[in-house]
Structure 1
Amino acid sequence: MTHPRAVRASLASIALAVGAGLAGCSGEDAAEPSFAVSTAADGSTYNSADVAFATDMVQHHAQAVAMAVVADGRPLDPEVETLKNVIREAQVPEIETMSDWLVAWGEPVPETMMGHGAADHGAPLSEGMEGMDADMPGMMTADEMAGLENASDADFQDLWLELMLEHHRGAVSMAENEVTEGEDADAVALAEDVVTSQGAEIETMEALLG
């Protein structure tokens, strides 16, 4: 098991990694697009890879936020509590940003499990997963979410970390694809930030799991 001091150092590095990732982001670093390019009303250009990235990542991020909600009130180690809050605070604004892009591009904003209002009405979040694409990398199935919701306090933390670790690995894979194939500078920049910030969080979770 990794020493708690090492874990805290890893958590602290996440904030630095996010800043560094944003500072180094540039759509100019992306490869030449291999998809037909469209022009938005504001004059920015985007392609189908950008649309697919935003559409999928809205749902992917929403599930991560739902996992953070499920962890609220559970007995967690301080480092895990901090990580849970970092994930939620980072991904909620990104969901809003990507949803705005889709609207600007004339594309539908996907329904998410958080959008069903299950959390507000006390219903299990696993019941709000109908219609979501569970085939995306790292996405939990409804059964996996139900298993997390019903896990005992003794088992919850490790299960949460294991599922979130796999979820993050999937997000990084999706973001790397956007960096390679995307056209929109802001979308590519966000994808680069996902690779950096969630990569740091992956290291933290691996350390927490030992």
Structure 2
Amino acid sequence: MGLGALAGIALVALGMVLTPGPNMVYLVSRSITQGRRAGLVSLIGVAVGFLAYLAATCFGLTAVFALVPEAYVAIKLAGAGYLLYLAWKTLKPGGTSVFQPKALKPDPPRKLFMMGLVTNLLNPKAAVMYMSLLPQFIDPSAGDVMTQSFLLGTVQIVISMAINTLIVLTAGSLAAFLGTRPTWLRFQRYVMGTMLGAFAVKLATDRSRAVIATP
């Protein structure tokens, strides 16, 4: 695989993990109300959810691309459209900060793990990442589709876990810092929203892999 594909999925993964969604809301709320250990246990559940999506993608993409190469175009446009939707949600006025968490009652480790897993499995961002965005960086002519899927998914998981670990460990401090600095909150929203929007336009207009050959 080329470095361009790995860098591309890395940028998308970074933009999506920094955009508030179900995973971030749950992890921040859990870390602030029950502590870092609870946040990290929940994060393990989130990681297992990503692995489940990656396994489903690896075993499904080969058959889909071999039988219906034209499906790439539909997947590509759906992924670009969802990135634009995330960009709009991030940039629109009146949005609330993820660092204004809701109170959660303390839960045991097993439940924390399961809640993290279920939150990620039901997270539309995770589903779209693997079913619509990740396939756009796969080039069947470059080698085995399953291997490429695994490598791209691994990059996404590593980036997501690294950023989410930092968020869990610093949730309390970030909440206190950003709570008194609304300008920083707006700056974060504008940067992430612009990144997602620009990448969505690039994906939608890039015709370099508009036709996928059967491996």
Greater RCO structure (CA 8 Å; 6+ sep)? 2
**Normalising by structure 2, what TM-score?**
0.32
Structure with more helix by fraction: 2
**Normalising by structure 1, what TM-score?**
0.33
